[in-house]
Structures are given as C-alpha cells and as structure tokens.
Amino acid sequence: MRWWRRWALALLLAAPCLPATAAPGAPPAVSRVVLDSLRQLLKLPQTDYDRVLLLCQVSDQLWTQRTDSAAVYAQRALVLARRVGYRHGEGEALNRLGAALRESNLARSLELFQQSLHIARATRDQALTAQNLRSIGIIYVYLRDRRQALSYYFQALKIGEQLHDERRVVLELSNIGLAYDVFGQLDSAQLYQERALVLAHRLHTPTNYILYGLGNAARRRGEVAQARRYYRQSIAESKKVGHLRSLNFAYVGLAELYQQMGRLDSSIYFARLGCQAGRTNGFLRGVLNASTLLTKDFKRRGPADSALKYQSLMLVMKDTLFGQEKVMRLQNLNYREQQRAQQAAAAQAALRARYRTFGLVGGLLGLLVLAVILARHGSQQQRARRALEQSLAELKTAQEQLVQREKMAFLGELTAGIAHELQNPLNFVKNFAEVSTDLVEDMGSDEPGRNSALQGEILAGLKQNLQQISQHGQRATSIIKGMLEHSRSGTGQRETVTLNTLVSDSLRLAQQGLRTKDKEVEVLISTALAPGLPPVGVVPLEMSRVFINLFTNAFYALQQRQRTAGSAYRPELTVSTQAVPGGVEVRIRDNGTGMPAEVQARVFQPFFTTKPVGEGTGLGLSLSHDIVTSGHGGTLRVESREGEGTEFILSLPV
C-alpha cells in the first residue's frame, strides 16, 4: 500500500498544521482487505477460467486506486482468456482494460468496449452487455454528446431492470443522474439520484457517487448547508471503501462550493486534496477539474505563482485529454454528417420516384405539394451542408495543430544532432585562438632579430591558425544554416541531389539524436550504398525528414527489443541503396521488435501509434508516406515479422 503512504506524506508536507482527527490519509481498510484476499486466492491452484475472472476482480479493486495497475491485471486476464479460448472471460477482460485506459487513450478505450460489447451480444451475456453500454455511455459523457450518452445509459438501465439486478440498477440510475448534472438538467439529476439513493439504502450498497450527485444538485440550487453535508458524507464513504475517484469528485465539489461562497482558503484546501486523490489514481479528468479550481482560487487570492503552477498542470491535463477528444468528436461528427447526407440523397431518390407516379396521375395539387416538400428539403440539405462544412473546417484546424506538434518533435530530434555537430568546429575555433595567443606572447618575449627563422615560423603558424579559425567558423555557420532550413515550413523547391549523400547525412543526424537520448545503445550499422546511382530530383529537406523519421523509428524498435532480449542480442541496422528499373530504391532494415500484421496494416494511418501516450503523435510515418507518395511520386512499403525485425522500402522515380 505504497500509495496511501505517499499521499499521507504529501498531505503532511502541504498542511503541516492539520489537526490529527481530520487527517484524510487513512488507508481504505475495506478495499485493502478485499484486494489482499483476492491476491491470496490468485496464489492457490485453480482452473484457467476461474483465474481469468479472479484477475478481472483484482483489476476492479485496483481501478478505484491506481488505474495503471488495474490495466496490468486486465491485460493478464485478456491474454489468458484468449489463450484458453474463454469467450466470456475475454469480454470481461476487454471491458476492464477499456476502463483502465479511459483516461490515457479514449479512442482505444472505446474500441475495447465495442469489442467487449460484440462478444457479450454474440454470447447473449446480458450483464456484460449492460456493463459495456454503461462504459460506452461514460465515453459519450466525456465527449459531451448528450443524446448518445443518455441512449446508452438508458439501454443499460433497461437490461438491469429486465434482469432484476437491483445493484446494477442503482449504478445506472446514479450514472444517469450524473449525466443530467453534466448536461445542466438539474431536476432530472436530482430525481435519478434520489431514486438511486432509496434503492441503495434498501440494498445496503455504497452511496459514494450518489451522495456526490446529490451534493452537486443542492449546490446548484444554492442550498449550501445541504450540499456541504452530502459532500462530506460522500468523502467519508469514499475513504471507507477506498474509492479515490469518487473521493476526487466529492473534494472538488466541496471546493467548488467554498469557492462560490468566497471562502477561498477552504476551497484551496479541499481542491488540493482532490488533486492528490486524482493524481494517485491516475484520474486525469479529476486532476484537471481540481487544478482548474485551484488556478481560479489562486488568481483571486494569490500568490500568483501558485496560480501559474496549477495553470500549467491544468494545461498539461487539457492537452492530454482534449487533444484526443477533439479529434474523436470531430471524426464522429463528420461520420454522422456523411450518414445524414447519404440519407438525404436516398430520400431525394425516393421523392423522385414518387414524383413520376404523381406525374402519371397528373394532379396539379400533387405537384404543388411536391414543390413545397422539395423546397423544404432543399433548405434542410443546405443546413446539413453548412454543419458539415463547419465540422470539416474544425477538423482541419485540429489536424494542423497536430501536424505542427509533430514538426516540433522532429525539430527536437534534429536539434540534438546539430548541437553535437556544432561542438567540433567551435572547439577548433577556441583551440586555435588559444595557441595563437601563445604564439604572439612568444614573439613578444623574444629579443628582436635574435632568431629570424623562429619569427618566420611563428608568423606562418599564426597565418595558418587564422585560416583554421575562419574555416571552422564557416563550418559552424553552414550547420546553423542547415538547421534553419529544416525549421522553415512551407513548400521547398525540388533540387537534383545525390541520394547516397542525403541518406548518409540523415543517418548521421539520427544517430547523434539517438546518442544524446540513450547512451547505452550500441547499434551495429552497416551501409551498402550503390555507387553511380542516377541523380534524383527531390525536395531535400522533406526527404531528409523522411529518412530521419525512418532511422529514428528503427532505433526505437532496436531499443525496445534490447530492453527485453538477452545479452546475446546485437542491435543491427542495415541501410542500402540501389538502382531499380525506372528509379532508385532505399532499404532500411532493423532487427528490432518487428510488427504483427495488424500493426503493419495501420502503420501509415494518421494518428496511429504504438508508442506510449505522449511519446508519439502517430503522424511521423503517415507524413513520411505522404511526402514520398504524393510529394515525390514514389512508394513507401513495409515488410516486417514480429520478433525478427522490420524493413522499410522506399523507392523514388528518376
């Protein structure tokens, strides 16, 4: 139970004069006991089926405390379930994994829930179906899609009622209440939470979320004392059951209440506790809510630097969360608009068919009615088109922002390489300047005319040094010029270049980028660059970017494999160029981790990445592919075997 100790420590540091009775860092005794006993059970011999379900239960318990640990157990359950072909267990594990990833990777999480839902429906597993409907509903609440969110929640509720599973019904009612709260329908929020509360009391099930929802409803109605009571009850219960998420919610609710009342010190106090709880759990959204409040509080009360600190935390959270959400929301909207446009087209076709029938009848009245319908339909279509255009524009902006981010990441790689390149010439300049000073001093100390041969030697040395200084200064200048060219955006001009030079320059830059990042990796690099290749017309900046990207990816794959492979493993990178009919070809092969077929199929898709969140934008290879194909009329292919390595084959027409 390392987490609560750390938490308690943080509290002590943050509030050294806290009265002992109010210390909220007490370990959640209940869940710890449950978790320990589950872990004991895992050690006993059992069937694989039982083990899958047990792992899922451990994941459930951990989810309220540390989502990353929950993901680990869910993954283990999934692997085992798939190995023994246990469909129900696979569905359960997929749902757990989705829940654990909901903060870090919303799109992946939605995909996992849908897979799980598919299995649940195929195996007619009603409980799991309801579970996934709820999980997907939560994602739509995140995306602020009211219609979809409530539709999933109510489907889940319906199944719960059909199954007479009242514990489930409590959760669904409370979730619906919270959704209404988010969408500003206070009466409905209140109503559903009250229904949930009555039922939960009868069943003696936890009410931590319900109390928070009731607290929110009371706060929004301005019933301060009532709201405070609910929040405090929710906090007490969350602590008892060790539920850090609802604890975060309740703390933030209470802090918001104090902010409304203008009691900023109390607001800061509770928002900090909320922030801690969210951080420990890995609940980014909760951290965001708490840090937003803290930023406001500190802006009003001071000190300003604390406001800044929480503002930057807030921005980091926003960047992580809303970058992915915006793209998802826009893609979704785009998809829906396309559907709507298709429906409109189908409707129009149907109308035309009817028009012919009416024409046969020849009723003038019919024609008139049609005219009216068509006119209305036309304006509807126009509205749909306007909405579509707007969403497309927004999607474009979001994509441009991501492309910009990818560019900055690339520039980072490049800068590391270039900073290193600059060291050498600067060193020479410094050294030659220093020895020249020595020479001049020698000259001054000699008696005039005593040794004219020595004088001549010194003068020749000085001249040579000055030439060296000038040369190395020039070398530094051209390196910096190269860097500036890389950072310049916009369309470059095609130039005739020697492919081999471009490839080896890019390789050197990527290598230096690697060395500054990871000193421990020794990669054996072999190059086989065919002499006498025909010159190619390319935009040098863009192509070197593609090569650096491919090399950097290869180094990453080698690093990843070296982390797990034994000491016999030697990371190797092979680069070759050759002439092929109609063009030239570059092959970049590594013996790194390699990719399974499904990853290979998606590797050039925008936003697809296998790197952990925050490490890759998922745009590197997609941009490279664009540059090679649409920019230069070439091809970029990948061949890979999992566990053996990957080869990228790039060809350019001459």
Q: Which of 174, 208, 465, 562 binds another protein (CB under 8 A)?
A: 465
* Dihedral sign from CA coordinates of 411, 413, 418, 419: positive
Q: Which of 195, 326, 420, 517 binds another protein (CB under 8 A)?
A: 420
Comparing CB distances to another protein, the nearer of 432 and 555 is 432
Measured between alpha carbons, how far is 308 from 637 in angstroms, rounded to an integer?
Answer: 47
Output the smallest distance, CB 554 to another protein, in A.
19
Comparing CB distances to another protein, the nearer of 246 and 559 is 559
Cis-peptide into 303, omega within 30 deg: yes
Output the smallest distance, CB 424 to another protein, in A.
7
Output the smallest distance, CB 469 to another protein, in A.
11
Comparing CB distances to another protein, the nearer of 569 and 604 is 569
Stretch that binds another protein, among 17-25, 67-75, 215-223, 463-471 (CB under 8 A): 463-471
Spell out a b/e string for 581-610, using b for 16 or more CB atoms within 10 Å of the CB, else e.
eebbbbbbbbbbbbbeeeebeebbebbebb
Q: Should residue 305 be labelled a site residue for another protein when binding is judged by CB under 8 A? A: no
Q: Should residue 423 be labelled a site residue for another protein when binding is judged by CB under 8 A? A: yes
Stretch that binds another protein, among 93-101, 217-225, 384-392, 468-476 (CB under 8 A): 468-476
Q: Should residue 470 be labelled a site residue for another protein when binding is judged by CB under 8 A? A: no
Q: CA dist 132 to 42, 256, 284, 483, 575, Å?
A: 26, 31, 21, 50, 47
Comparing CB distances to another protein, the nearer of 115 and 455 is 455
Residues 488-527 that bind another protein (CB under 8 A): 515, 519-520, 522
Structure token pair of residue 303: 């000190």
Output the smallest distance, CB 435 to another protein, in A.
4
List Cβ neighbours of 248 (8 Å cut-off, separation of 6 or more): 274, 275, 277, 278, 281, 283, 286, 287, 289, 290
Comparing CB distances to another protein, the nearer of 328 and 419 is 419
Q: Should residue 430 be labelled a site residue for another protein when binding is judged by CB under 8 A? A: yes
Comparing CB distances to another protein, the nearer of 343 and 427 is 427
Comparing CB distances to another protein, the nearer of 192 and 432 is 432
Output phi, psi for 67, to 5 deg.
-65, -30
Q: What letter would DSSP give residue 629? A: I
Output the smallest distance, CB 523 to another protein, in A.
12
Comparing CB distances to another protein, the nearer of 399 and 468 is 468
Q: What letter would DSSP give residue 22? A: G
Query: Strand, coil or helix: what is 422?
Result: helix
Please say whether the beta carbons of 83 and 98 come within 8 A: no
Q: CA dist 491 to 400, 430, 497, 541, Å?
A: 15, 38, 17, 10
Please say whether the beta carbons of 284 and 278 come within 8 A: yes
Q: Give the strands of the sheet with 645-653, arranged side by side.
A: 524-529, 572-580, 583-590, 645-653, 635-641
Dihedral over alpha carbons 228, 290, 101, 133 (to 10 degrees):
40
Output the smallest distance, CB 548 to another protein, in A.
19
Q: Which of 25, 27, 366, 461 binds another protein (CB under 8 A)?
A: 461
Comparing CB distances to another protein, the nearer of 235 and 429 is 429
Output the smallest distance, CB 444 to another protein, in A.
16
Comparing CB distances to another protein, the nearer of 524 and 530 is 524
CA nearest to 410, candidates 589, 619, 609: 619
Measured between alpha carbons, how far is 95 from 80 in angstroms, rounded to an integer?
Answer: 15
Q: Should residue 148 be labelled a site residue for another protein when binding is judged by CB under 8 A? A: no
Q: How many CB atoms lie within 10 A of CB 45?
A: 6
Output the smallest distance, CB 113 to another protein, in A.
45
Q: Should residue 468 be labelled a site residue for another protein when binding is judged by CB under 8 A? A: yes
The residues that touch another protein, with contacts defined as CB under 8 A, are 420, 423-424, 427-428, 430-432, 435, 438-439, 461, 464-465, 468, 471-472, 515, 519-520, 522
